Amino acid sequence: MPTSQGKSSTQRLKEILQTFRQYKVIQNFSRQENPQAVREAFERLGPTFIKIGQVLSVRTDLLTPAYLQAFKSLQDSVKSDPFPKVKALLEAEWQQPLTEIFDYFAEEAFASASIGQAHHARLKNGQEVVVKVQHPGIVADINVDLALFEKAIPLISYVPESNVIDLKSALADVRRSLDDETDFLKEAHYGERFYELNNNWHQVKVPKIYPEYCTKRVILLEMMTGKSLRYLLEADPKAYAEQGLTNGEFKKDVALLLVKSFMKQVFEDGFFHADPHPGNLLTRFLPTGSPGFASKKKVGVFAGVDYQLKWQDEQPDYAYQLIYLDFGMMGELPDHLRSRLIDALLALYTQDSQQMGEAVLHLCRLEGPFDETTFYGELGGFLERYANLPLKELDIQAVLGEVVQICHRNNLQLIPQVTMLMKALSTLEGVIEELDPELSLMEVIQPYAEKYYLKQLDVADSVKRLGLDFAKSSKSLPRLPARSLQALETFIRGKSQVTMSFKEQKQFLNRLESLSNRLTWALIVCGLFIASALLLGIPDNPTTQRLGFSGITLGLVVTGLLALQQLLSWWRRRK
């Protein structure tokens, strides 16, 4: 199969091998040396290898920090195609001349990346738009690279250093990502959905997609004016951005908005921008007197009581907008995955290795032999290292990196949705580090995680389940003394022997004692509720009615105190 440049598969393979030799890719990569040379080689070889680098950029279990940083900064700028080729492709896609659609169409592209290039244009109705058109033949080029890579896997497997990477899994991730990015209809659909969920959320703006002009190789969207975030990152912090505002102050505001926006996408929408690098973000100031942004609140009912949650802090006096671009790489987290992520965060706060392990296992697939004791033991050690550490001092990238390493050592592979989230978080953290190094992602994540947890909490269902548990416990309660005596007699007569050996025995016994105390109180309260309900059931007897109401009141008070004790215990562990 020839490439778009007329190269055969053999010629393309020769080009890849020459580039690998020139930049010593195999030697450097296997020894984790000279990451810039490997990055330059991948950029030179085009979109397939750029995507391979991006997939590897979240593998903290495989790569050194220098390599991770180099792969995060992969750029895919290429020379734009001449206008006659672009015009021919567009008119073939739309089946009509450009002059029937546009009053104006810029022949020179203002941006060109590995997949496509972008042109300014103006529709007949006067709307300024951007036309993103795929490079002719780019899909064929990518397919040639992927086919060559697939054929090379058996040969590469003989290289000793290659066994640290699951090459087939990496190739599948690359193919899946490139399939999405080269299907502009998918990107158009993603853009429409992102627009509906995020446009005008606080200061966030998203360009409108015009689906009637979108095809597998063309996207037409609203033109958004503004400056790339790269300009702000490179600006002197002490210089004034606008309206008496320094660049340093503006950076802090943008950083906080960017993190809040991303947390909203993850925890509320379950649909997030997976490539929030500076080239995909614009900022612009609005004219003096532009309308402000009203604070939004979420109102609901919790256990019969109205509550309000503020989604937004006070807004700055000046007006600006943060604009998202490029929707080819998006991530999606269904409710069940978000719930597992919340479980993992709560486990991190409460130092609960059991809960953490259960949550992580639901976010992974098994790739080989698995030892549960070893896995939970490593998680326990991991949590101990973060015990008593203030929330703002937690490095989310380091935390995620350690979890990935534990999974890798135990033959667990994170599912693609979580890998995509980690990639996005990795990119976001790099941007935030440049905008506002003092901003803690974990401190911003916490309230959003709590809001999502509260949103998912079904009080009625929880009460029903609690009632069933109490009923089962009450049914077994009368048989408990007899069975306990029987067990004691068995031990006294020497008919039974129990040998227990486990790690962290003291901690286990303390937890067992705490659990026993809670069970005792639960049985007492359960018995109190049942007895009170029976008393209330006796008709025409004021005394039993009063006793019944008193019993229920006492039970509710004890239940409330126990719940308060549990909340205080959680709070102390988090502090």
In this structure, the answer to whether residues 192 and 86 fall within a common structural domain is yes
Eight-state DSSP code of residue 113: B
In this structure, the answer to whether residues 419 and 506 fall within a common structural domain is no
Query: Among all chains, which residue has been given the structure tokens 């479980």?
Result: 343
Query: Among all chains, which residue has been given the structure tokens 């003092």?
Result: 438
Q: Report the distance separating Cα 348 and Cα 352, nearest Å.
A: 7
In this structure, the answer to whether residues 394 and 426 fall within a common structural domain is yes
Token code pair at residue 21: 């030799």
In this structure, the answer to whether residues 101 and 218 fall within a common structural domain is yes
Q: Report the distance separating Cα 322 and Cα 253, nearest Å.
A: 10
Q: Write down which residue in 168, 200, 223 finishes a domain.
A: 223
Q: Quick one: how many helices (H) and strands (E) in the chain?
A: 21, 17
- Helix pair angle (396-409, 416-435), 10° resolution: 150
**Number of neighbouring beta carbons within 10 Å of residue 214:** 22
pLDDT for 307: 39
Cβ atoms of 349 and 570 closer than 8 Å: yes
Helix (H) or strand (E) holding 192: helix 184-198
Residue 283 included in any domain = no
Eight-state DSSP code of residue 77: B
123: closest CA among 223, 250, 28, 201? 223
Residue 101 included in any domain = yes
Residue 245 included in any domain = no
**Any idea what the Cα angle at residue 544 is, between residues 538 and 546, rounded to 5°?**
125
428: closest CA among 413, 441, 414, 418? 441
In this structure, the answer to whether residues 109 and 155 fall within a common structural domain is no
Q: Report the distance separating Cα 414 and Cα 409, nearest Å.
A: 12
- DSSP E strands in 293-349: the ranges are 297-302, 305-310, 320-324, 330-332
In this structure, the answer to whether residues 413 and 364 fall within a common structural domain is yes
pLDDT for 98: 96
Q: Report the distance separating Cα 272 and Cα 280, nearest Å.
A: 13
Q: What are phi and psi of 221, to 5 degrees?
A: -140, 160
pLDDT for 513: 66
Task: Residue 167: give the domain boundaries.
Answer: 9-76+146-178
Cβ atoms of 132 and 207 closer than 8 Å: no
Residue 546 included in any domain = yes
Q: Give Cβ neighbours of residue 274 (< 8 Å, ≥ 6 apart).
A: 329, 330, 331, 420, 421, 423, 424
Residue 258 included in any domain = no
pLDDT for 334: 92
Residue 270 Ramachandran class (φ > 0 left, ψ -120 to 50 alpha, else beta): left
Q: Write down which residue in 223, 252, 282 finishes a domain.
A: 223
Residue 486 included in any domain = yes
- By the 10 Å C-beta count (0-12 exposed, 13-18 middle, 19+ buried), 124 is classed as exposed
Q: Report the distance separating Cα 423 and Cα 429, nearest Å.
A: 10
In this structure, the answer to whether residues 90 and 120 fall within a common structural domain is yes
Q: Report the distance separating Cα 237 and Cα 435, nearest Å.
A: 10
In this structure, the answer to whether residues 164 and 209 fall within a common structural domain is no
pLDDT for 224: 95
pLDDT for 524: 79
In this structure, the answer to whether residues 466 and 428 fall within a common structural domain is no
**Any idea what the Cα angle at residue 168 is, between residues 162 and 174, rounded to 5°?**
105
Cβ atoms of 57 and 423 closer than 8 Å: yes
What is the DSSP code string of 533-575? Answer: HHHHTSTT-HHHHHHHHHHHHHHHHHHHHHHHHHHHHHHHHH-
pLDDT for 53: 82
Residue 67 included in any domain = yes
Q: Report the distance separating Cα 478 and Cα 482, nearest Å.
A: 8
pLDDT by 10s per residue, the chain, length 575: 555 555 678 888 888 889 988 998 888 887 888 999 999 998 888 888 887 787 777 666 667 888 888 887 776 667 889 999 999 999 999 999 999 999 999 999 998 888 899 999 999 999 999 999 999 888 888 888 888 877 776 665 555 544 445 667 777 777 887 888 889 999 999 999 999 999 999 999 999 999 999 999 999 999 999 999 989 988 888 888 877 789 999 999 999 999 999 999 998 999 999 989 888 999 999 886 555 444 444 444 333 334 344 444 445 567 899 999 999 889 999 988 988 888 888 888 777 888 888 889 989 988 889 998 899 989 888 888 877 667 667 777 778 888 888 998 898 888 889 888 988 888 898 899 889 988 877 777 777 666 665 665 544 444 444 555 555 555 555 555 555 666 555 555 555 555 554 555 555 566 666 677 777 777 777 777 777 776 666 766 777 777 777 777 877 777 777 777 777 766 665 55
Helix (H) or strand (E) holding 355: helix 353-361
Domain containing residue 118: CATH number? 3.30.200.20
pLDDT for 85: 94
**Number of neighbouring beta carbons within 10 Å of residue 523:** 16
Cβ atoms of 353 and 386 closer than 8 Å: no
Cβ atoms of 448 and 263 closer than 8 Å: yes
User: What is the domain count for the chain?
Assistant: 4
Q: Write down which residue in 456, 479, 505 finishes a domain.
A: 456
Cβ atoms of 226 and 204 closer than 8 Å: no
In this structure, the answer to whether residues 356 and 492 fall within a common structural domain is no
DSSP-assigned beta bridge partners for residue 205: 323
Cβ atoms of 278 and 229 closer than 8 Å: yes
Q: Give Cβ neighbours of residue 345 (< 8 Å, ≥ 6 apart).
A: 445, 446, 449
Q: Report the distance separating Cα 60 and Cα 294, nearest Å.
A: 41
Residue 324 included in any domain = no
pLDDT for 29: 82
Q: Report the distance separating Cα 43 and Cα 25, nearest Å.
A: 12
Eight-state DSSP code of residue 425: H
Question: How many residues are listed for the chain in this entry?
Answer: 575
| Side chain identity, residue 176 | R
448: closest CA among 269, 209, 225, 228? 269
The 3-state DSSP class for residue 274 equals coil
In this structure, the answer to whether residues 104 and 172 fall within a common structural domain is no
In this structure, the answer to whether residues 121 and 21 fall within a common structural domain is no
